[in-house]
Structures are given as C-alpha cells and as structure tokens.
C-alpha cells in the first residue's frame, strides 16, 4: 500500500489537511482574559472528553504567552486531573514562578466548572551551547512516502479510532498497524513507529512548532501499553492519560516529517508506562516523551 499522490481538496480548492491544520492553529490561539488568564475552546467534533493533547498544547500556549521572546520551552510535566468537557470553554491560569537569567519557570492550571482538570509545569531556557550527544535513529524504518496515510487506511475499511470521522490536521503514516487496531493481533515486544507531520505549512514560529508537537505527542503514546499484550479481539480496553512529560532537545519543524518511536517498558496496577522519541528525517533526536496511563481491560 502506498501513499496518496494527490492532496484531498475541498470544494474551495484548499487541501482539507491545510484547512484542518489552520483550525488547529486557531484552536491553540487562546483568548487573553487578564494578564495571566486565558480561555480556550474545543472543536465541535471533539470526542466525549477533551483530547489530552489539546489541553496540554493549550496550557503550554498559556505558559508561553507569559515568557520573554528569547526563551523556548525545554521541558514540561503535566497531570490529567479530571476529564475535560468539550462543550464549554477551558480557563487557563498561569503562575509566573521564576524569571532567572537563563531559565523561566511557569505553572498553569486548567479549570472547568470551578474545578482543576489539568495542571502543567514548564521550564523555558535561552539558547545556550554545551555538550551534545544522542541515541541514533532506528535504521530499518521505511520512508514515509512508501506508507499509506491514515485517510487511505480508513477508506480501505481499517478502523481509525476516534480519528475516523473528524478533520485530521496531522498526516500520520504508521509503520506497523495503528495501536487502536492492534487488539486481537497478538503481542508485540518491539517499539511501534509512526511518521507524522502537520498536514500543511506552519509559520516560522519555534514555539508554535513546540505546541504542535505537544499536541501530537498524546495521540498514540499510551496505546503502546496495549500493544505489548495478546488481547482477545472482543476485549474492551479503557485508556486514560494520567500524566505526561516532554523534553525538547533541538529545534525542529512540526510541518516536516518526524518519526515517533514509542514503547511501553512496564505495566502494573492497572497503569502502564510509555516512552517516546521524536526524530527528524535526518536522524536528529529532537524530543523525548514519557506518559503513564490508566489501562483497564475487560472481556465482557
């Protein structure tokens, strides 16, 4: 199966992916209510809960809006506290914890119905030089152009999870079967890999590209826990993100191909831990992710 050669155009001649990407950029452009107070909304096609990548991305935007222009996020640590309600706005309250000579620290609380649904701590840094090394990119990965995009897979009858009937701002090319389609296919003890990029062009704004990667990093990560197990095709699986962390190592563009390699090293107590690495096409390791999720399985 190969990738589509022609873009999927809408009635106005604009590629549907670019339109969906522009909508996501607008979604991340929070309304400022006060000096440290922001408001975000969810798209009309949201699932029953606010997508975790959305609230993480919007919270990082709220933090970034309070930081000097010469500083970029190098790490974030977050907890998903309550399910988000996509029917109402989310209020983001940013706390200016510290402004140092090299580092800036922020905390953000996302609030709905008067209660916290998400908390984030993020650290920003000025550009500095130092020692450099990284793990190499996997060498046996097919080029993204040789793989079918998610739209082609869905059109051929494959399950696309909650992404089946919604606009998709990201171009996803799975090397192995998508994680949501792996139940009943046996256990896999090797990392899962997916090429991804924004399905269109983004402005030359480094923080925006970091926001976009934060959004994308939650799409397939906790599903790697399920991939480690040989579950029955009829098994009902509940997966909920509990906490999430991202470390940014080098500049990158989210509208160019990034390989996301994900793997679950351990699961216990109805929780599973998942790790991920983002590589550029040239092999640079640009971001690392870790997430713990609630994973419950029932055969009923």
Domain residue ranges of the chain, discontinuous segments joined by +: 16-126+139-298
Task: Give the separation between CA 165 and CA 43, rounded to whole angstroms.
Answer: 13
Quick one: pLDDT at residue 149?
A: 87
Q: Calculate what percentage of the chain has a pLDDT beyond 70.
A: 89
Among candidate residues 218, 224, 255, 264, the one labeled active-site is 218
Quick one: pLDDT at residue 83?
A: 94
CA geometry: angle 92, 241, 267, nearest 5 deg: 150
Quick one: pLDDT at residue 85?
A: 95
Task: Give the separation between CA 109 and CA 123, rounded to whole angstroms.
Answer: 15
Quick one: pLDDT at residue 177?
A: 78
More confident residue, 19 or 249: 249
Q: What is the mean pLDDT of residues 36-63?
A: 93
Catalytic-residue membership of 250: no
Q: What is the mean pLDDT of residues 164-182?
A: 79
121-138 pLDDT, tens per residue?
A: 999 999 999 999 999 999
* Beta-bridge partners for 80: 118
Task: Give the separation between CA 212 and CA 102, rounded to whole angstroms.
Answer: 24
Q: Calculate what percentage of the chain has a pLDDT beyond 90.
A: 70
54 Cβ neighbours under 8 A, 6+ residues apart = 27, 42, 46, 215
Domain 16-126+139-298 CATH class label: mainly beta
- Does the pLDDT at position 2 exceed 50? no
* Band of residue 186 on the pLDDT scale cut at 50, 70, 90: confident
Task: Give the separation between CA 211 and CA 198, rounded to whole angstroms.
Answer: 12
Quick one: pLDDT at residue 180?
A: 65
* Band of residue 31 on the pLDDT scale cut at 50, 70, 90: very high
Task: Provide the angle, in degrees to the nearest 10, between the axes of the packed helices 206-217 and 52-64.
Answer: 150
Among candidate residues 112, 241, 255, 264, the one labeled active-site is 241
What is the average pLDDT score of the chain? Answer: 90
Nearest CA to 188 out of 79, 106, 270, 263 is that of: 263
Task: Give the separation between CA 255 and CA 202, rounded to whole angstroms.
Answer: 6
For 84, the 3-state DSSP assignment is: coil
Quick one: pLDDT at residue 156?
A: 75
Nearest CA to 243 out of 296, 292, 276, 277 is that of: 292
Helix (H) or strand (E) holding 195: strand 192-198
Give the N- to C-terminal CA distance of the chain in Å, as an integer: 35
Catalytic-residue membership of 241: yes
- Does the pLDDT at position 5 exceed 50? no
Q: What is the mean pLDDT of residues 138-152?
A: 91
Quick one: pLDDT at residue 3?
A: 43
* Band of residue 163 on the pLDDT scale cut at 50, 70, 90: low
Asked whether the CA dihedral 45, 51, 55, 60 is positive or negative, the reply is negative
- Does the pLDDT at position 12 exceed 60? no
Catalytic-residue membership of 54: no
């Amino acid at each position: 199966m190969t990738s589509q050669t022609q873009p999927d155009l809408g009635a106005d001649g604009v590629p549907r992916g670019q339109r969906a990407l522009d909508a996501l950029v607008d979604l991340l452009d929070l309304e400022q209510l006060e000096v440290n107070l922001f408001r975000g909304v969810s798209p009309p096609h949201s699932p029953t809960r606010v997508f975790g990548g959305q609230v993480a991305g919007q919270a990082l935007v709220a933090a970034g809006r309070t930081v000097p222009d010469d500083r970029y996020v190098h790490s974030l640590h977050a907890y998903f506290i309550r399910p988000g309600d996509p029917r109402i706005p989310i209020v983001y309250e940013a706390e200016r914890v510290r402004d140092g000579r090299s580092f800036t620290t922020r905390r953000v609380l996302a609030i709905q119905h008067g209660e916290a649904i998400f908390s984030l701590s993020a650290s920003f840094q000025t550009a500095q030089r130092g020692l450099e090394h990284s793990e190499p990119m996997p060498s046996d990965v097919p080029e993204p152009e040789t793989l079918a995009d998610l739209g082609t897979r869905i059109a051929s009858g494959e399950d696309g999870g909650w992404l089946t009937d919604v606009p998709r701002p990201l171009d996803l090319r799975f090397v192995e079967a998508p994680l949501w389609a792996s139940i009943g296919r046996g256990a896999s003890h090797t990392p899962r890999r997916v090429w991804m990029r924004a399905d269109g062009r983004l402005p030359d704004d480094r923080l925006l590209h970091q926001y976009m990667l934060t959004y994308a990093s939650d799409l397939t990560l906790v599903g790697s826990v399920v991939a480690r197990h040989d579950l029955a095709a009829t098994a009902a699986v509940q997966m909920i993100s509990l906490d999430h962390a991202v470390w940014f190592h080098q500049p990158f563009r989210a509208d160019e191909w990034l390989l996301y390699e994900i793997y679950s090293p351990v699961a216990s107590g109805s929780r599973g831990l998942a790790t991920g690495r983002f590589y550029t096409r040239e092999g640079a390791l640009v971001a690392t992710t870790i997430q713990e999720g609630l994973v419950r399985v029932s055969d009923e």
